[in-house]
Amino acid sequence: MKIDILTLFPNMFNGFKEESIIKRAIKDKKVKINTVNFREFASNKHKKVDDTPYGGGSGMVLMCQPIFDAVDSIKTKKSKIILLTPQGKTFNQKKAYELSKEEHLIFICGHYEGFDERIKSICDEEISIGDFVLTGGELPAMVICDSIVRLIPGVIDDESSKYESFNDGLLDYPSYTKPRNYKGMQVPDVLLTGNHEKINNWRKEKRLKVTSEKRPDLLKNKVKIDKTGIKENKNKICVDDIKNIKVTEVRPVRRTGIYKILKNDDIKAITILNPNLIYGYKLRGKNSSNSINKILIVKKEFITKIAMKNVRKKIDILNYRFNLVLSSEEDDEGTSRVLGEAEMLKQMIINTYANFLGEKNLDKIIKNINYLINEFVKAKTFQNQFFSKPKQERRR
């Protein structure tokens, strides 16, 4: 990959290119990063690159000519030209992956009051790194280049980036190193077992927990609604799973404008009338006499109804577990275990059912679970205090 950065302050990039992973990537010829001072392309006597804005106003505006000529001197048919401006689309990990596949990137760093609007005509895209204003585009250029270069094959170990934050809409799991015990803070036992399956499951649970606590918006943003009102989610069923099933002696059970359930003696399956509708709520048939082993619900209202029913069942089970611990006077280990189950239930609901419940229902359910947890803790605390008193004092 080749990256050209148009800037009035090329010396700002000296340290950036001479340290850490960027330096190694340049040395290994994985990337070539050049800085171009577009002041050198100014055609006027004093190498002036900015001027006062038409219509009046404070500040100075960058002129077209130096930037146009600088871009013309380096661009090719494979170049992607990016303008760094607060008005651009916010940069994220998905965009970093897209840009890492380009052969030639040209970044234009602004300064002063801004760009002549006509400069945007030669750019393929405008990018911002956040809703704030900096003195220039040099720092955003470094941020974006750093995130892109590390994704180039061979720059870092592929395994290192597999579970990084934002790769699949979740934050990263907690990491630990030696010593096992530091000032009373222990490394989780599961990481010391050597059981990779348990470790992977623990890491998945922690990624969900960390994301729900620190960036719940990432979980909500994973839910999208298309024109049909059907929610897209990761639990999708590919049409290929259905269309290859041969159905004989077809008899319709129920039909709407969206889907149709077909039956025969050997296989019960759902055939989607519109092949574009591949998302929905997947169920498995429980009644063996009906022999329906796959159900895909695509009607939005019905999905919410079924999801709410399933979640209520799980909350009822949790409530039963709380009462069981209270009635059996289990020790602290039993209390910790059931509280852990409560936290895992919350994360499971967020991960599995958030796409189907809707924001209001999800918030209501989480509040309900938190209420049960608080009531259990109060009851357990009172129970512990009561049984810790002498028998005579209890009788009073």
pLDDT category at 287 given cuts 50, 70, 90 is low
Total count of domains within the chain: 4
Of 281, 298, 315, which closes a domain?
298
Cα separation, 266 vs 122, in Å, equals: 61
For residue 200, the domain's CATH number is 1.10.1270.20
Cα separation, 270 vs 295, in Å, equals: 6
Residue 104 inside a domain? The answer is: yes
Q: Are residues 269 and 375 in the same domain?
A: no
Residue 232 has pLDDT above 50, yes or no: no
Write down the pLDDT at residue 354. 79
Mean pLDDT of the chain: 79
Of 298, 316, 338, which closes a domain?
298
Sign of CA dihedral 201, 207, 213, 218: negative
For residue 114, the domain's CATH number is 3.40.1280.10
Residue 340 has pLDDT above 80, yes or no: yes
Q: Are residues 281 and 359 in the same domain?
A: no
Residue 241 has pLDDT above 70, yes or no: no
Residue 344 has pLDDT above 80, yes or no: yes
Residue 108 inside a domain? The answer is: yes
Write down the pLDDT at residue 136. 93
Q: Are residues 6 and 76 in the same domain?
A: yes
Residue 260 inside a domain? The answer is: yes
Residue 230 has pLDDT above 50, yes or no: no
Higher-pLDDT residue of 327, 139: 139
Residue 72 has pLDDT above 90, yes or no: yes
Residue 215 inside a domain? The answer is: yes
Residue 292 inside a domain? The answer is: yes
Residue 163 inside a domain? The answer is: no
Residue 377 inside a domain? The answer is: yes
Of 247, 277, 298, which closes a domain?
298
Residue 185 inside a domain? The answer is: no
Q: Which of 279, 287, 304, 291 is nearest to 356 (CA)?
A: 304
Q: Report the pLDDT averaged over residues 103-123.
A: 92
Please state which of the ranges 6-20, 51-65, 251-265, 362-376 shows the lowest mean pLDDT.
251-265
Q: Are residues 154 and 19 in the same domain?
A: yes
Cα separation, 142 vs 138, in Å, equals: 6
Q: Are residues 205 and 285 in the same domain?
A: no
Cis peptide before 66 (omega within 30 of 0): no
Q: Are residues 248 and 370 in the same domain?
A: no
pLDDT category at 221 given cuts 50, 70, 90 is low
Residue 277 has pLDDT above 70, yes or no: no
Question: Residue 269: which domain range?
Answer: 231-298
Residue 248 has pLDDT above 60, yes or no: no
pLDDT category at 259 given cuts 50, 70, 90 is very low
Q: Are residues 240 and 152 in the same domain?
A: no
Write down the pLDDT at residue 284. 62
Q: Are residues 306 and 242 in the same domain?
A: no
Q: Are residues 6 and 126 in the same domain?
A: yes
Cα separation, 33 vs 145, in Å, equals: 9
- Residue 350: partners with Cβ closer than 8 Å, 6 or more residues away: 208, 212, 216, 219, 362, 366
Q: Are residues 12 and 107 in the same domain?
A: yes
Q: Are residues 310 and 262 in the same domain?
A: no
pTM score, whole prediction:
0.55
Please state which of the ranges 67-76, 243-252, 384-393 shows the lowest mean pLDDT.
243-252
Q: Are residues 16 and 66 in the same domain?
A: yes
pLDDT category at 301 given cuts 50, 70, 90 is confident
